[in-house]
Each structure stands twice: as structure tokens, then as C-alpha cells.
Amino acid sequence: MNEQSPKNSSTPSLTATVLEAMEAMVQDFDYIDLASSLVSSTIELLGANAAGVMIGDSSQLLHVVAASDEDMRTLEVFEIQNDEGPCLDSWYSGRMVTCDDLVTDERWGAFRARATELGFRSALAAPIRLRDHNIGALNVLWSQPNAADERAEQAARALADLAALGLTSKAVPSEATFLAEQIHRTINARVTIEQAKGMLAEQDNSDMNTAYTLMRNYSKASDTHLMATAELVTRRKITAATMRAAVVR
């Protein structure tokens, strides 16, 4: 779980986040990069401690495609495996789901137990929708109760809409199979990224969060898509040591 950072003058506005995402979408971009960026923006804009993006495939199975840290990723996987939690409810219903206090709420018994064990107290899930289709959800968690206020809901809804636009930005309305193909590519990319994280963590004797941060920093420093970096790692073209050297230059 990330420590919550107080808002200051350097915290980006929602407008700036939207403009940055839209600028990325008119260029050659990778959805994993966009989803990871939206997760970071969600934490900064909402003063949250963790966030993640889940996308459903053509078989109606949810997959984690971006998470703020390893605790959040494993919690979202736990949510999927137990088929309960705010993100699942939001995806099923296509509606915003909030929880003021995970300690006293009576929904999602197994999820609440795991989330509070990790230090989370309140939650929000915003549906990622394309027209009448629910294609996923944005999950947001805070370490304090009653954090999911009206402002947080509005910002989360806008960020979830950006996540949906990112999946469809290269499509035209007549391309009925595009969304399924894009989701399939995104899920496969996430599998490769998880493999790369594991390899880097083993090379560096570090944890998965540190490995993921190294991948993101290297990708930014080398102007490379996160997926391309992951492929280089899994093909053993680059190592943790060479990546760290590139980042500190």
C-alpha cells in the first residue's frame, strides 16, 4: 500500500490528466502504459493509497491490467478469485460502487477481511463502459474511512471513461471485433509484464514492487513502451543492472 501524499501545487489537475491522456491517444501508444499512468493519476488526484484497473475478456472473466503496487495487484486477484468486492459489483452492474468503511460494511466478507488486513478502510469502484457494455472497472482504496466523497466519484468516473477510450481509440464504430482483440492483447501484455517483474526481482534480489518501478523508470528514461521493456527482459536482452545504469544517467 502506498503512503498517501498530501495535495500540493505539483499535484496534477483532472483537466491536465485528461489532456495528457488524450494527447497520448492520438499518437502510437500502448494501453498498458496508459492504464498504468491512469492508476498513478488516480492516486494523486483522489489522495488515494492504491488503485487498479481490471478489464473483462470475451469469456466474461476479469483480469488485472494495471495496479499501483504488488499489494493492490494481489488484492485484485483475490477479489477475482473469490468473485466478490466493489470492483466486481461495479463491473456486473455498470454503476459506481462505494464503501465508506470496510470495517463496518457487511458486504464482501472475504474481500473486506483481506483489504482491512492490508490497511485499507474505504473503497470506490467506477465502471469502465463502452456504450451499453461493461468492459471493466477502476478500483480505488484509501487507508482512512469516508474518503469516497462526491468529488472522488466524479474524478473516478472521468478516469474510468479515459480507460474505456484508450481501449477503443484506434477503432472505428464498424469494427465489431476490435474491442475483444484489444482486450486480448492487453491481457497477454500484462502476463508478459508479470513474468518480467519476477525475473528482475530474482536478478536483483528485490521485491516485485521494486522490479516494477525499475521497469517503469527504464521505460520512461529510454522512451520505450512498458510492454516492449518487458519483452526485452523476458528475452534476456537487458538485465536489472543495465536498466538501473540507464535510469541514473
Domain ranges of the chain: 14-170, 190-247
pLDDT at 179: 56
Distance (Å, whole) CA 100 – CA 145: 6
The CATH class given to the 14-170 domain equals alpha beta
pLDDT at 190: 78
Other Cβ atoms less than 10 A from the Cβ of 35: the count is 28
- 163, 196 Cβ separation under 8 angstroms: no
pLDDT at 208: 87
Within the chain, which residues score under 70 in pLDDT?
1-12, 14-29, 169-183, 249
pLDDT at 6: 45
What residues are paired with 54 via a beta bridge?
A: 64, 137
pLDDT at 137: 95
Tell which CATH architecture fits domain 190-247: Orthogonal Bundle (1.10)
pLDDT at 59: 79
pLDDT at 19: 58
